[in-house]
Amino acid sequence: MRQRIVDPRPLSDEDERFNLTRRPRTLDEMIGLSHQLEPLRIALTAAMERDEPLEHALLDGPPGLGKTTIAHAIANEMGAKLVQSSGPALTKTGDLMGILTSLGNRDVLLIDEIHRMPVAVEEFIYPAMEERKVQFVVDRGAFAKTIEVPLKGFTLIGATTKAGLLSKPLRERFSIFHHVEFYKPEHLNAIVLRSAKLLEVPIDDAAAAEIARRSRGTPRITNNYLKRVRDFAQVKGDGRVTLDVATKALDMLGVDKAGLDELDRRFLRAIADFYDGGPVGIETLAATLNEDRGTLEDVVEPYLLRIGLLNRTSKGRCATRRSYEHLGLEIPQSAQRGLFV
């Protein structure tokens, strides 16, 4: 699958290592989430004062907004170990058994994309969440017997980009729910300045603001941009990131002033040019663009919807008046009905 610099998912192991070594270590250090995280901070403080593990928490929101960072911050503040896995990786109950029995008191287990856990694994984790124990079946047939294994008081943090796909029994076993919102430009601006300082990259305030403005409200994209702009400044300039350098670098990468890349623009042009502004189905668009449907639904559409460049209806996707204006296209008479005014 083709990687895009505006993709909020990790682009490489190197990017993940960069994020891991430079991510905030406490909830208070998380720029832009102070107000959002207040209920979670209160629950964490109360649990620590009672010398208890934090109750199980579910974090949902688009990729790249800091769900994993929140889990790391919680583990750091509790002075506990964090063990990380993912729903697709837990294919058998034995995979989860080994992880759960290795957890100590107040340790944190993070399961990313928890909505993708197999049903058998999901049902296996229910008693672990509720009663701090698991039941393991050994042998088969007439010789089968169940062994009950007690667990320490751990905290499960489930992270998901699609909370609606969680089963009701699993969702109800979480006591804390937190939805992570997109960041405001001023908060992304602060993240750019912080990351630039950690990378020892000299940067102007105007350049930081420009990078933040094109970052689609997502810190992971912000850091991706900063590293590519740093490279551009080193090769094409004197190493300092100025507004001119940042603008030229991002333009070279195909990211426009609204944060759209070439696939975003092709997506909108297909609706506007080929299908008269819509409505058009997502399968048809995927075939037209020769792109995976999941990429369009999970990566392209959310941002276009958020900034008003796309209208998703029961009949399909429609271009909006703002999308025609952004692309510099004349609005055809046939497309008027599907547009926002």
Given 41, 214, 220, 230, which residue is catalytic?
A: 220
Separation of alpha carbons 210 and 250, rounded Å: 9
Given 7, 68, 276, 317, which residue is catalytic?
A: 68
Q: Is 7 one of the catalytic residues?
A: no
User: Which secondary-structure segment (H or E) carries 235?
Assistant: helix 219-236
Given 60, 107, 112, 276, which residue is catalytic?
A: 112
Q: Is 220 one of the catalytic residues?
A: yes
Q: How many CB atoms lie within 10 A of CB 117?
A: 25
Given 161, 218, 222, 320, which residue is catalytic?
A: 161
Given 67, 106, 116, 216, which residue is catalytic?
A: 67
Separation of alpha carbons 233 and 166, rounded Å: 45
Q: Is 67 one of the catalytic residues?
A: yes
Q: How far apart are the first and last CA of the chain?
A: 36
Torsion of CA 165, 170, 171, 172, to 10 degrees: 150
In terms of Cα–Cα distance, which of 340, 9, 36, 21 is closest to 184? 36
Tokens of 34: 């102070």
In the chain, DSSP assigns E strands to: 57-60, 82-86, 108-112, 133-138, 145-150, 155-160, 176-179, 310-313, 316-319
Q: Is 161 one of the catalytic residues?
A: yes
Q: Is 284 one of the catalytic residues?
A: no
Q: Any idea which residues carry the catalytic annotation?
A: 67-68, 112, 161, 220
